[in-house]
Structure formats: C-alpha cells, structure tokens
Structure 1
Amino acid sequence: MAILVLAEHDNDTLKAETAKTVAAAKAIGGETHVLVIGHQCDKVASTAQTLSGVTKVLFVDSAEYQAQLAENLSNVLVDIAADYEYILAAASTTGKDVLPRVAALLDVAQLSEVVEVISSDTFVRPVYAGNALATVQSHDDKKVMTVRGSAFDAVANDGSAELMTLSYSTAATTEFVSQELTVSERPELASAGVIVSGGRGMGNGENFVMLEQLADKLGAAVGASRAAVDAGFVPNDMQVGQTGKIVAPDLYIAVGISGAIQHLAGMKDSKIIVAINKDPEAPIFQVADYGLEADLFKVLPELIESL
C-alpha cells in the first residue's frame, strides 16, 4: 500500500502542514512518498527527506511550476497516481484547489478535511461547520484526501528518505500572470503558536494597529473574523474560520469577536482561548477558557502597556 503526500511550500520553505499530513499518512499505514513540485526548491526537497516515516521524495523542478497552479500540479499527480492507493494534501488553499481536480480526473470521490483515521478505508471529517463529525467509509480504489493539519501532530525531522528526480512538462493551458503577497515579519497565521484576532467590534481597520502591537509583544500572528474581512477592515488572507484558515494555536485571543459558528469552526481546537468582548451574551464566551467582559478600547492599551 503506497501513499503520496503533496508537499506544501513556497519554493523556499516546507510548510508545517506537510509534516502533519505525513502524520495522517502514517496513521493509515503503508509506504509514504512526498511529492515536491516547484522551481529552484532543492531546499524544500531536502527538508522533505528528513520527515519521519517518509521513504521517498519525488522531486519535480521546473520554471513552469514556480507558481504551483492547480491545473499544472494536478496533471503531474494524475500521471503518477497509478502507483498509489492514497493521494493526500493539507486542507490549505493549495490542497483545496489541487485535489478536487485530481479526484475529478481520477473519477473518485474526494474525502475533505479528514481529522481522524479509523482504518485504511474509514475516516472522520467535520460537517455542519464543525458542529458534527461524520465517520465515512470509502470503497474507491484510490482515495484522494485533504487533511486538516490542526488535528494531527507534525512528524519529527529524523528521517533520511531517498530522493528521486522526475521530469514533467505540463500540458495545461493556464498561465501565471502575477500575484500580490502580504509581507509580514510576524509568524504565518496557519502555523503560529499564538494568534490575536479581531472582529467587527474593532470598529475599523485603523484600530487593528492595537492588535498588531499586542501581537508584536507576544510574538503572535494577527487574524480576523469574516465579519471584519467583509467590512473591509483587513485583507481576506487574515481570515480565520470555515471559509478562511483553520488554526489550532497554543493561545488564541479573540478581541471584539462575537463567536459565530463560521468563526468557531476555524479556531475552536486552540489549546487556550481568551475572549475579550463587552457583550456578556456573546457566543465566544461559551468556548473560551478565559473571558473578559470589558470595553476592548480600554483593555487593549492597558494590556499592551503591561507586557
């Protein structure tokens, strides 16, 4: 039984989600290979070789894969799918873009956001915005799965997998034009150990400066609720929730966030949740480990000054 894991990276650094997806592969059992596709990403392939439980790293390096477009990546995955019973990727923006295409091309049903492996064909995944868990069994010959990284602990970096270089030329007609990236010295939201998030209660985007100051004191990432993003306070790459990023930091501080189901689905697995809200009936207090009923515009400056 062979398992293929699609590596998540930016052509320079292997994302932590890959190590967590490998952990899910180990839970399934069988020989695990990691596929690294990109351009000038030798460092990524080398890091993938160290992942515990990985026996082989397949390396495709070409300028046409620098942008890692879903149309291009899916062609490579389908071409080598014959050798694998399982194809896994993190339930990130990349995984959610690539694997549905792979599943459609292979004519199988995709298993989305798996959070637990029961057996080689039975898995648990959240439904109804995470308010319920469904145990599903797949009878497909090939199982295409996205894995929710927050549900698995990353494997160690004590392996020494074999490196195999492959040569592929995509037949896709999609062409990369440009991209705009948010540059920040703070930790990446999806892998941060501490996250400070703001909601509509912040009032406007300028007030997010207070959250940034608090985050800098704590070495944290800054997130936001969908309401704050929809209101134009912050860009959508900061969104935490069902339609944003799924996070599970050691500490999650929710400021001015009411706690709608959509948001809770993205952060309720956090180890410790602290809520600051002036509304005592806010649903966020039901999941918070610590709650402070107060005016955030008075509390935040005091908190920042005290740290």
Structure 2
Amino acid sequence: MMWFNKLVAAMLPLMPKNLVWIFSKRYIAGTKLSQAVSISQKLNSDGYMVTIDLLGEFIEDLSEATKNKDEYLSIIDTIQKNGVEGNYSLKPTMFGLLLDKEVAYENIREIVKKAVGYNNFVRIDMEDSSCVDMEIEIFRKLKKEFPNHVGLVMQAYMRRSMSDFKAMMDMHSEKAPLNFRLCKGIYVEPASIAYKDYEEINEHYLEDLEFLLKNGIYVGIATHDTPLIEGAYKLLEKYKVPKDKYEFQMLYGVTPALRKSIIEKGHRLRVYVPFGKDWFAYSTRRLKENPKMAAEIMKALFVRG
C-alpha cells in the first residue's frame, strides 16, 4: 500500500481545498488569529498551556519574511491582551533562513525582543537537515542576548542530536538553563543521518531525554507515543525532577484522551496551536513527508458514520 499512499500524497495539492480541510481542520486552529485565541482560551480553561504558531515556512521571497515578522509582532500583542497562558513557536525558514541568514536572524530577534517585553518566550522550531546548523547558530546568538526567553526544538531521530546537546552545554547554567522541546522528528531524511526504525528512534528519544533531565535542562517532552510517555514518567521519578522544570507537549487535535490523562496525573502540558491562511500548504507538505497519513486522508474524505 505504500505506493498508493505516496500517490495520494502527491495528488493532494491538486484536490479542492474544501476536501482537504475535512482532514486538516481537526489539527489546525483555524485560519484567523481570533479562532486561535478562542481555542487557546478554551484549552487554558481545561488546564493546558499553549504555544501559538503562525503557519508558514520555506518562503521564496524576502518580502514575505518582513510580512511574516510584522504579523508575528501583532499576534504577540493580541495574545497578551487576551490573557492567553502561552508562548510562541516559529520556523526560521518563514523569515528567510534559506534566502539570507542574517535577515532571518534580525527578523526573529525582533520577535523575541517583542515577547521579552511581555516576559514571554519564543521556541525556535528545528526544520530539515539543511537548516540544523543555522538554527542552532541562531539559537546561540539569541540565548546570549535573551538567556531566559528562547528555546530550541531538537529531533531525537537525528543521529547527531546527542552530540549537539553536549556541544550546547556551554550555554547552560542554573540561572539560565537550556530549554529544549524534544520531539521524534517529522522530516524525511536519509538513513545515514537519521534513525529509521521505530524502536531505535524511541530508544534514542529516551536516551536524549535522560541526558537532559539529569543535567537540569528544561524539557518540553513532545510526544503522543504511550511507551515514550511511560518512559518519561520513569525518568522524571528517577531524577526527582520538580514539576516546574519540565512539561509535556502535544499537537492540537491529537490524542486528547491521552493528553487529559497526563494533566490528571499532575503534570503540566502545553498544546501546540497552529493557525493561519497557509494551512493548505502546511497540510500537504506534511503529508508528502509522511505518506502513511494518506490512508487517514482517504478515510476522512470518503468514510462516513
């Protein structure tokens, strides 16, 4: 069935948006900021923190970078005025990383500075392997200037991740600890640089998590995988990690029952809330990166009852 999944994923951009939306709307908090605010407030009332992400990535013109930066600045003002308990996530390629690294850095710096004005926090997403070194470099520069207001995403399936963690320990201190979101990783990468086997990825995820927790690094434990969550519970107990030194993280619309069970156990959890007019490109790109999801598309479009 893999060939069929790949075929469906390749054809998805040609499908009418209203059909693709049937699948996508469960995982995207709307196209407008007002919708993201409403959903975030509901999540807050249910006991969850949020991180807001304006959809968009891999732009082709620097004029888009400026527009995206200005929109993020406005988003921060609106989120803060509405009293949402949450922070912000962004993808550097949305601000021109692959076009002009310095322009991207200045755009992101302005966004972080805006968030700092509200005593808030910005998470820099990790993208595909072509971006890793540049995104670590940007993180280093921003953490030096804003030591407690910026974090980075790291991907456990990348073979280099443990060495990257160790290389960044020079930025870690008790007063300004490193802050990472640890996820498995979604981008399709060659086996030479990324683990492929499910069990192998999980093994390295828990190895990475143990390294972070035992070194007092703040971790966003980002997973919907029950074995990893159970493994995280054991590590949190092993190292007696205070509840304010970590959080679980999950995507909006994914495994809500599991999400609820985590906070019922007394752990904090943050929900990733993506929104924006670029939801279609986001959805189709993710499906191309993960053709197995094509089966879910077909089910969402054609199965009823």
- Higher helix proportion (structure 1 or 2): 2
Same fold (TM over 0.5): no
Which structure's relative contact order is higher, taking Cα pairs within 8 Å and 6+ residues apart? 2
Larger radius of gyration: 1
TM-score (normalizing by structure 1): 0.29
Bigger proportion of residues as strand:
1
